[in-house]
Amino acid sequence: MPTRSQKMGLIGAISYIIGNIVGSGIFITPKYILNEVHSVGMSLTIWLLSALIALLGSFCYVELGTSIRVSGGDFAYLCFMKWNSIAFMFMCISCTIIFPASLALQAQTFAEYVFRGANVTLDPNSDYWAKKLLGFSLILLLMFMNNFSLKTLVQRFSIFASLAKIAATLTIIVSGFYLLIFKCFSLIKSQFFIKDVSARTENLKEPFKESVIAPGNLVTALFSGLFSYDGWDILNFGAEEIENPKRTMSLSILIGMTSIAALYIAVNLSYFVVLSTTQFSQSSAVAIDFAREALGSAAFVMPIMIAVLLIGSLNSTLFQASRCLQVVSRKGHLPSCISGLSPVSESPRVALFVHVSLALLVSFMGDMDQLITYVSFAQWSQRSFTMAALIWVRFRNQPLHPERLQLPIIFPIIFLIVCSGMVVTSIIENLKSSLIGLGVLTTGITLYWVFVWERGLPKFETYKSIAHDLNDGTTKFAQIVFNVMPDRGLHEELDNDPAVSSGKQELLETNK
């Protein structure tokens, strides 16, 4: 595989981390955290503790990304350990349900906020299809942008989207802190700000009053907090596209995660300055209720800004999922055509197309929140196996990249305990969802044993012949349609593949 010519720098990496983490979570989960711990002080403590756990996990993944320098995240690391069946099992869930459902949900949420901000009212049927088409249009636009240069186009857009997210959250923070610092002293009251500011700081006088510290409540609250911080492993999905990984990944995680933690705590503090705990706990859209109380006639900007920040989340999801699919194909677990990279921009065009197609299909499957709930158990299980892999290679002293970040061994051990604890808690608290997650995992490993494992169907010559012809045909078709060349990995020559050989000269002539 040729050396990648367009690398992601520190600013781009920070923007991807912020863009992937700061999304709908901060506008959904605060209510659920408060409902579990029942106090302002414990809510803010949960947000801080969630940040520390996420920071610990992200640095463990930085060690993995700098030690095993291949794209693909958890899947690539499990394959490095030769745990191929486990890697395939988790890949099935991530690539077919988790990533497509996340993209579809973000697109639908985007459309909802745009329509609300623009005060568009349609009949139910027209409203449904108009929002679907708007969400699909945004997904297709981002796919088009991702088809071209990462550094010259998509990275710049990601930086812009991250700035938009910061602007949206700063509106809440500035409004809340303005009321906290000035309005509590009964200074000038503008029509754009709160009309009755009395007793708005009562939430802060006894912050830990009526706190609930039962283990079950605390763990459930942590689930909500960690959901909002999820996405800190995005750089691991494109590790081969990062310039100076040790420096870039370490600094971007430190700067990005610290900034996000400060942002989240400030946003929640602003919420509590404006809303009573009763309003807060009963709200279905905390940011909207905040805007109505704090911004008055300017409240209409909040749905628009939230819609804008979701664009960054959509772009980050596209980046992460497409790289995951591309690496899985490169490992030989999916058709070779999906591994195709553009010879000009090196973007995984076929993987992007497959991911977007799955997302469009999943968007019609009804309640996708339930689908994500079913497989959340699998996400923490996967992280448990990934941490076990890191600890295993450390104890076995396996050869790794010489320029890697190496943490004290206690860090991955602690994070493994955290991940395992969450898996056990998921089983205890929600047995039904855990069983469904286990069912999906079982299907994934069955598919591996039947279609991928060398002792399954691949041992029969007839199956191998049919599979080879199909793979060869689809690869040639993808080369022509998407103008790509299949990627066989870091240590394999592309010329060994018949499909590549047949189309290589033509592609090179086209791109001269």
Distance in angstroms (rounded) separating the CA atoms of residues 349 and 328: 14
pLDDT bucket at 103, cuts 50 / 70 / 90: confident
Angle at 72 between CA 423 and CA 482, to 5 degrees: 135
Q: DSSP letter for 36, please.
A: H
User: pTM value?
Assistant: 0.73
Mean pLDDT of 184-213: 58
Residue 214, class by beta-carbon neighbours within 10 Å (0-12 exposed, 13-18 middle, 19+ buried)?
exposed
**Beta-bridge partner residues of 242:** 8
SS3 342: coil
Look up residue 503 and give its DSSP letter: H
pLDDT digits (tens, 9 = 90+) for 288-327: 778 878 877 777 778 777 877 788 778 878 887 888 788 7
The pLDDT of residue 3 is above 80: no
At residue 155, the pLDDT reads 64
Interatomic CA distance for residues 471 and 465, integer angstroms: 10
Structure-block tokens of residue 262? 């400060």
Residues of the chain with pLDDT > 70, as a percent, come to 84
Residue 508, CB half-sphere, CA atoms under 13 Å: how many?
6
Looking at residue 162, what is its pLDDT?
67
Question: Residue 188's pLDDT is what?
Answer: 42
Whether the Cβ atoms of residue 377 and residue 223 lie closer than 8 Å to each other: no
100 pLDDT more than 90: no
Q: Helices 155-181 & 10-21, crossing angle to 10 degrees?
A: 60
pLDDT at residue 49, rounded to an integer: 92
Mean pLDDT check: name the lowest of 34-43, 188-197, 221-230, 454-463: 188-197
Nearest to 406 by CA among 246, 238, 236: 246
Banded model confidence at residue 382, pLDDT cuts 50, 70, 90: confident
The DSSP result for 82-98, as a single string, is T-HHHHHHHHHHIIIII
* pLDDT average, residue stretch 100-105: 83
The pLDDT of residue 492: 44
Q: In this structure, are residues 6 and 151 in contact, taking their beta carbons and an 8 Å threshold?
A: yes
Does the structure show a pLDDT above 90 at 503? no
In order, the DSSP letters of 400-441 are --SS-----THHHHHHHHHHHHHHHHHHHH-HHHHHHHHHHH
Taking residues 127-143, report their average pLDDT: 91
pLDDT tier for residue 366 given thresholds of 50, 70 and 90? low
Under the banding of pLDDT at 50, 70 and 90, the label for residue 7 is: confident
At 185 the pLDDT is 47
Dmax (CA) for the chain in angstroms is: 83
Domains (ranges, CATH) in the chain?
A: 10-510 (1.20.1740.10)
Most confident of the ranges 45-59, 71-85, 480-494: 45-59
- Residue 73 CB-half CA count within 13 A: 24
Per-residue confidence (pLDDT) for residue 137, from 0 to 100: 94
Query: What pLDDT does residue 388 have?
Result: 92
Bridge partners of residue 8, in order along the sequence: 242
Instruction: Name which of 99-108, 151-160, 265-274, 462-471 the model is least confident about.
Output: 151-160
Q: From CA 384, how far away is CA 419, in angstroms rounded?
A: 5
pLDDT class for 45, splitting at 50, 70, 90? very high
pLDDT at 148: 76
Across residues 341-353, what is the average pLDDT? 87
pLDDT of res. 410: 93
60/178 Cα distance (integer angstroms): 38
Q: Measure the CA–CA gap between 11 and 251, rounded to whole angstroms.
A: 10
DSSP state of 152: I
- The pLDDT, as a whole number, for residue 491 is 39
Neighbour-count burial of 299, counting CB atoms closer than 10 A to its CB (0-12 exposed, 13-18 middle, 19+ buried): middle
Q: Which of 9, 59, 41 minimizes the C-alpha distance to 258?
A: 59
Residue 353: is its pLDDT beyond 60? yes
Q: How confident is the model over 238-243, as a mean pLDDT? A: 79
Find the mean pLDDT for residues 97-101: 82
Is pLDDT larger for residue 493 or for residue 116?
A: 116
Length, in residues, of the chain: 512
- Write the CB contacts of 261 (distance below 8 Å, at least 6 apart in sequence): 47, 48, 51, 55
Cα 364 to Cα 131: distance, rounded to the nearest angstrom: 12
* pLDDT tens, residue by residue, 333-344: 788 899 888 888
pLDDT the model gives residue 307: 76
pLDDT reported for residue 500: 38
Query: Which of 142-146, 222-226, 323-327, 490-494 bottoms out in mean pLDDT, i.e. has the lowest?
Result: 490-494
- Spatial contact of 347 and 148, defined as CB atoms under 8 Å apart: yes
Question: What confidence category does residue 130 fall into, taking pLDDT thresholds of 50, 70 and 90?
Answer: very high
Backbone angles phi, psi at 8, to 5 degrees: -90, 130
Query: Does the pLDDT of residue 128 top 80, yes or no?
Result: yes
Among 127, 158, 135, which residue's Cα sits nearest to residue 145?
158
Binning pLDDT at 50, 70 and 90, where does residue 183 land?
Answer: low
Scanning the structure block, which residue is given the tokens 């077919």?
96
Q: What is the pLDDT of residues 447-458, one digit of tens each?
A: 888 887 777 777
More confident residue, 244 or 1: 244
* pLDDT over threshold 60, residue 506: no
- Using CA atoms, how far apart are residues 470 and 182, in angstroms rounded to an integer? 69
The pLDDT mean for the chain works out to: 79
Over 237-262, what HEC string results?
HHHHHECCHHHHHHHHHHHHHHHHHH
Rounded distance, CA 219 to CA 225, Å?
10
Please tell me the distance from the alpha carbon of residue 94 to that of residue 368, in angstroms, as a whole number: 14
- Is the pLDDT score of 264 beyond 60? yes
d(CA 59, CA 254): 8
